[in-house]
Amino acid sequence: METKLKIAIQKSGRLNEDSIRILKEAGIEFNNGLNKLKAEAYNFPLEVFFLRDDDIPQYVEDGIADIGIVGENVLLEKNKEVKIVDRLGFGKCRLSIAIPKNQKYKGIQDLEGKKIATSYSTILAKYLKKNKVNAEIHEISGSVEIAPSIGLADAICDLVSSGSTLFTNGLKEAEVILKSEAVIASNKKLNKKQQEILDKLLFRINAVKKSKNNKYILLNAPNENLDAICKILPGMKSPTILPLADKGWSSVHSVVNENEFWDIIEKLKEKGAQGILVVPIEKMIL
């Protein structure tokens, strides 16, 4: 029988859509209809399980799933024997300690003797221990942010992204414990065939990730400035240069990184570049 790699992704919630999207962008087709627990890819040896995110680390450790897409925060909290094989750049958030906004805060020692409500007691306990702070951890499973206002705790430790939940509950961030994003976690004992499939999958995902950070750029350059223009363009290797019908001009093609993009455009214009076109790249293989 053909070996298939089993991947666990979140059934519904914040990571569900992006997890499906990244697999689809990697060219993997499957039916992700509502209420499905399992789907087989049509064109890649992959079986997709849809699960609660909290269960994914255990499933991957046990090998029920070979790999899983899950927030690093969940992975660290569950503390299972799995290996992070890729970081996916979505589901970004931080795990922070927050306190009532009117309270003065000078540093972590201010948490000494305080009661902190959280659903991340493992990570919090480690953090407090590392910083030699004795505080009482009160484990709750949801609505952590209301704990101080109802007198359940002095502080909370919870996930934050925009900060608006803290704000509306009269809290402010005091310590950032962890910066998290969605990762791919793998079982530690994949067989050779499973490892080969995983490598293929990671190769595809990386091609998609790289393409997102880069743009294809085409421009017309006066020949006398070609050298200067090529120096501005980093490219994958070196830019492609084609003569234009218009004498004294060339068309230059290259790839630029999103972060350096505006900087580069300005420099190109200074050197006389015209007709600059910037187009998205779908996949990028180096």
Chain residues binding ligand PRT by CB under 6 A are 10, 13-15, 52-54, 71, 73-74, 91, 93, 158-165, 180
Taking CB under 5 A as the rule, does residue 53 contact Zn ion?
yes
Report which of 90, 67, 93 is spatially closest to residue 80, judged by C-alpha positions.
67
What does the alpha-carbon distance between residue 104 and residue 246 come to, in Å, rounded to a whole number? Answer: 69
* Residue 233 in tokens: 């363009």
Among 18, 25, 47, 54, contact with Zn ion (rule: CB under 5 A): 54
Taking CB under 5 A as the rule, does residue 16 contact Zn ion?
no
Q: Least Å distance between CB 93 and ligand PRT?
A: 3
Those residues with Cβ within 8 angstroms of residue 105's Cβ, 6 or more apart along the chain or in another chain: 99, 172, 174
Measured from the CB atom, the residue of 53 and 66 that comes closer to Zn ion is 53
Task: List the 171-180 sheet strands across, edge first.
Answer: 136-139, 115-118, 155-160, 93-100, 171-180
> Which one of ligand PRT, Zn ion, none is in contact with 158 (Cβ closer than 5 to 8 A by kind)?
ligand PRT
Measured from the CB atom, the residue of 163 and 222 that comes closer to ligand PRT is 163
Q: Least Å distance between CB 167 and Zn ion?
A: 23
> Which one of ligand PRT, Zn ion, none is in contact with 109 (Cβ closer than 5 to 8 A by kind)?
none
> Which one of ligand PRT, Zn ion, none is in contact with 35 (Cβ closer than 5 to 8 A by kind)?
none
3-state percent breakdown (helix, strand, coil) of the chain, nearest 5: 35, 35, 35
H-run or E-run covering 40: strand 38-40
Measured from the CB atom, the residue of 163 and 235 that comes closer to ligand PRT is 163
Q: Least Å distance between CB 81 and ligand PRT?
A: 20
Alpha helices for 36-118 (secondary structure H): 56-62, 72-78
Q: Least Å distance between CB 206 and Zn ion?
A: 27
What does the alpha-carbon distance between residue 141 and residue 163 come to, in Å, rounded to a whole number? Answer: 20
Those residues with Cβ within 8 angstroms of residue 11's Cβ, 6 or more apart along the chain or in another chain: 37, 50, 51, 52
Taking CB under 5 A as the rule, does residue 55 contact Zn ion?
no
By Cβ distance, which residue is nearest to Zn ion? 54
Secondary structure class of 3 (helix, strand, coil): coil
Q: Least Å distance between CB 182 and ligand PRT?
A: 6
Taking CB under 5 A as the rule, does residue 154 contact Zn ion?
no
Taking CB under 5 A as the rule, does residue 140 contact Zn ion?
no
DSSP tag of 225: G
Measured from the CB atom, the residue of 165 and 223 that comes closer to ligand PRT is 165
Q: What are phi and psi of 276, to 5 degrees?
A: -75, 125
Q: Least Å distance between CB 54 and Zn ion?
A: 4
For binding to Zn ion (CB under 5 A), which residues are involved? 53-54
